[in-house]
Amino acid sequence: MNNYLITGNLGYIGPVLCKFIKKNDPNSFITGYDNGYFVNCPIAAEVLTEKPFLDLQVYGDVRDKNKLSKYIEKADFIVHLAAISNDPMGSEFAKVTKEINQESSLFIAKEAINNNVKSFVFASSCSVYGTGSDSPRTEKDPVKPLTAYAKSKVGTENDLLGLINYKNTKITSLRFSTACGYSPNLRLDLVLNDFVATAINSGKIEILSDGSPWRPLIDVEDMARSIFWACNRLSGKQMEVINVGSQDWNYQIKDLAFEIKKLLGEDIHIKINKSAAPDKRSYKVCFDKYFNLTPQNFTPQINLKKSVIRMLKALKPFKERLSREDRNHLIRLNALKSLKQNNLIDVNLNWK
């Protein structure tokens, strides 16, 4: 029986990942380790009726080394998702972002190596490229992190690459494209998800920038697929840094909006803020390395149409709950601010 430890399992990716693991490794034992910031962030209670694909839920902070170590010791595979998970959150909580995203990641990796864990998978991000030329960025291109979040990912990768001896542990840093698609623990601070939810609720898509930046995207199910592959991979070196996504999913933001309009209906109105200053974060990404290392059944399988239609089917029954005013709990930064304002967590994101 394979033992999986998943940090941050109660976030956006975790529920989809646990389901994927149980489907492909049914005899596995999955332990989730999460501090519960976003445990109350599903779109509605009704969507959580499906059984959780989890064997043990532990509530804890990844900065609590003594508590976390007890579960690392028992793991065959560690998937490290726990993080301050986007640029606005990283800007608001810059100091804590480094503690949680970088310092804790290195501790977990070292503990994994010392305990002969078979595989440590780190959720990194293509945002490390920051801004690039017209040519898609490869893993060999220099990184240009522009935010605390992206800098924490680069810092962790450098720390992992700097480890002298990996012993029996494979280390994989997956630089994910911008996540999208339906999850029971939904996020609407992701560009495609925001566009779809707003279109369903109001018949409009509002682009806050001039729409020119490039972003690669990946459906959350394909993220789960790549993580499962990374846990069990036989190809590649002992330590690998890999861009994860698909060439077909490199989009300019304005083109993404028009593609969504085609799928949801021509009556959708698109508003572009042409007077906005250009977003410096703009990059296309090359995924040749991932496709070369990965068997075909573990390359991305979900295209834009399928991802959007799945979201439409899941969210349409909750159309009235998707207004800007009613979906604050689905915006991660706003959810944290609410916990802080209600005196439930302190400035360092510790529970009181």
CB 272 within 8 A of CB 207: yes
Residue with structure tokens 């909750």? 318
Which pLDDT score is estimated for 48? 47
The pLDDT of residue 95 is: 80
Count of all residues that appear for the chain in the document: 352
Mind listing the pLDDT tens digit for each residue in 230-239? Answer: 999 999 999 9
In a domain, 346, yes or no: no
Distance CA 128, CA 301 (A): 24
For position 88, what pLDDT does the model report? 64
Q: Residues 196-208: pLDDT tens digits?
A: 999 999 999 999 8
Asked whether residue 203 is assigned to any structural domain, the reply reads yes
Angle at CA of residue 10, ends 326 and 320, nearest 5°: 20
In a domain, 260, yes or no: yes
| 92 domain-assigned | yes
Instruction: Please report whether residue 285 resides in a domain.
Output: yes
In a domain, 352, yes or no: no
Q: Is residue 347 part of a domain?
A: no
- pLDDT for 46: 45
CATH code of residue 273:
3.40.50.720
319 CB-side CA count, 13 A: 9
Note whether 214 and 255 are within 8 A (CB).
no
pLDDT value of residue 89: 66
- Over the chain (352 residues), the average pLDDT of each successive run of 10 is 97 96 97 91 53 88 97 98 76 82 97 98 97 88 92 96 95 98 93 96 92 96 99 96 97 96 91 83 96 97 97 90 84 89 92 92
Tally of domains within the chain: 1
**Pairing label, strands 119-125, 170-176:** parallel
Domain limits for position 63: 3-341
CA distance 331 to 302: 24
pTM for the complete prediction?
0.95
